[in-house]
Amino acid sequence: MANTKGVMRPLVNFPEDLWCDRFLSLPFNNSEFESYTKQVEAMKETVKDMLVVSTTDPIEKMHLINTLCRLGVSFHFENEIEEQLNHLFITLPKLLNDNDYDLHIVALVFQVFRNKVMGDVKGMVSLYEASHFRTNGEVILDEALDFTTKHLRWYKEQDLKSKFPYARHRVVEAFFYALGIYFEPRYAAGRNILVKQTCLIGLIDDAHEAYGLYEELQCFTDAIQRFDISSMDELPTENQKNIYETLLHVIGDAEYLVQKEGRSYAIPYNKDEWKNYVKVEQVECRWKHEKDVPTFDEYMETGMYTCAARLAMTQILIGMEEADQNAFHWILNSNNKFLKALQICTRLYNDIVTNEDEEKRGFNTASMCYMKQYNVSRKEAIEAFRAKIGDAWKDISEGCMRPTMGVPMQVVRAALNYQRLLDLAYRDNDGYTKPNISFQQLITKVLSQPIPLD
């Protein structure tokens, strides 16, 4: 607890932002990119020839397709790949019967055709490399520069660091997250919205867990239910007014985007999930305030919302023209095993790596509640969580194989990538709260260290 102007607030000493203004000085050489563009166009034609040549060994062609997918550049060759996979799929039974392939080849065949069925998205580690394999107007690195000069400045123009000094400031991590969800050039505007809303989740979460008092936060919860600028007058602190105003501004940006596309229906889904998110954050604050430890089942009932998976999916779909109302209905359906799996993984991944920090601050965690309900050790609770995450992954894989009819495959891919990012960020520790060296190096490789074409 810390005393700020006579009020004892539950401040937390979060690690500083690792990146500061580093990306504001990102070098940018137009002539270099023009040279890359010429190289890329020539290389694309070469790759197309390699894909369509009929004399190529089928297994070598599968290796090529798999490599293109893993490099993150297969979106340049979607039609050619689809045509080749359709042909290979027809010849597959004879191919396997006539040849005694080793396990490596069988696994390759399985992966390539599973990707065909699932619409599997490309390797995230090679996102930056993919930015070089482009045509005019499809430059991810150009967008990275635009992001740093506008949307990270956005962060500076809003003066968010000084307004919320107690909070985690992770705008670069948020941009990395957005790239991992959908890196294709056509989603540039969606990524900008996603970055801003992701940053807001962090600020609002920290307002609940690292600054706000219980009674103050109830006023904030009530204001969010109305989503009206006039509600700012009812908020008791400048901190809450600043958060509320920033949230309304970000929602306004999203509304402008979807109105241009004739998709205004997307915003009510997003607002509803913001309302739900803040309400359940307040429930967890009440538990802390009353020193109440719920059962694991009770905890998960709210935790499925405070993990923000539902909210995140509405944020993601805002930026996708393919996301019609049917897509929103699908992902938000309470009976959707895919969504439930995302929620379980998000909640349990987070609690596995952050439980001790949150417990020290008086908050309940999944392991604490599980230990209470089932009378087991923390180690046994964590083992149970990892098993639940494993089962959830199976549901996600099944959901990719058998999505609801009418849901665009791009939407399913984005949801799958959301889960992949969780695994990347929370595998060993909380990569958002305390980015470790390996996570920092990964972001650096993707965003600022070009991979040469030579």
CATH number at residue 335: 1.10.600.10
Asked whether residue 288 falls in the same domain as residue 432, the answer is yes
pLDDT given for residue 1 in this prediction: 55
Whether 315 is covered by a domain: the verdict is yes
pLDDT given for residue 9 in this prediction: 77
End-of-domain residue from the set 73, 91, 120: 120
pLDDT given for residue 126 in this prediction: 34
Q: Say how many domains are in the chain.
A: 2
Could you tell me if 210 and 10 are in contact, meaning their C-beta atoms sit under 8 angstroms apart? yes
Asked whether residue 96 falls in the same domain as residue 236, the answer is no
Which CATH number goes with the domain that contains 112? 1.50.10.130
Asked whether residue 184 falls in the same domain as residue 78, the answer is no
Asked whether residue 150 falls in the same domain as residue 116, the answer is no
Strand partners, 8: 3
Asked whether residue 171 falls in the same domain as residue 264, the answer is yes
Asked whether residue 47 falls in the same domain as residue 159, the answer is no
Indicate the length of the chain as a whole number: 454
Could you tell me if 144 and 55 are in contact, meaning their C-beta atoms sit under 8 angstroms apart? no
End-of-domain residue from the set 120, 149, 167: 120
Q: How far apart are CA 61 and CA 88, in angstroms?
A: 9
pLDDT given for residue 125 in this prediction: 29
DSSP assignment of 338-394: HHHHHHHHHHHHHHHHHHHHHHHTT---HHHHHHHHHT--HHHHHHHHHHHHHHHHH
Whether 261 is covered by a domain: the verdict is yes
Domain housing 67: 36-120
Asked whether residue 99 falls in the same domain as residue 181, the answer is no
Asked whether residue 183 falls in the same domain as residue 237, the answer is yes
Asked whether residue 200 falls in the same domain as residue 334, the answer is yes
DSSP category for residue 291: T
Q: What is the pLDDT along the chain (454 residues), one digit of tens a residue?
A: 555 566 777 777 777 777 766 665 666 667 777 887 888 888 888 888 888 887 778 888 888 888 888 777 887 888 888 888 888 877 777 777 788 777 778 777 766 765 554 433 332 223 333 333 434 454 444 554 454 455 457 777 778 888 888 888 888 888 889 999 998 888 988 999 999 999 999 999 998 888 888 889 999 999 999 998 888 888 999 989 999 999 999 999 899 889 888 999 999 999 999 999 999 999 999 999 999 999 999 999 999 999 999 999 999 999 999 999 999 999 998 888 899 999 999 999 888 887 677 777 778 889 999 999 999 999 999 999 999 999 999 888 887 776 566 788 889 889 999 998 888 888 777 777 777 777 777 777 777 766 666 5
Q: Give the distance from CA 384 to its chain's centroid.
A: 25
Whether 129 is covered by a domain: the verdict is no
Asked whether residue 351 falls in the same domain as residue 415, the answer is yes
pLDDT given for residue 5 in this prediction: 62
Whether 16 is covered by a domain: the verdict is no
End-of-domain residue from the set 69, 86, 120: 120
Phi-psi region of 324 (alpha: psi -120 to 50; beta: other; left: phi over 0): beta
* Amino acid present at 330: W
pLDDT given for residue 312 in this prediction: 96
Whether 270 is covered by a domain: the verdict is yes
Q: Give the distance from CA 454 to its chain's centroid.
A: 32
pLDDT given for residue 130 in this prediction: 36
Asked whether residue 185 falls in the same domain as residue 109, the answer is no
Whether 299 is covered by a domain: the verdict is yes
Asked whether residue 337 falls in the same domain as residue 419, the answer is yes
Whether 421 is covered by a domain: the verdict is yes
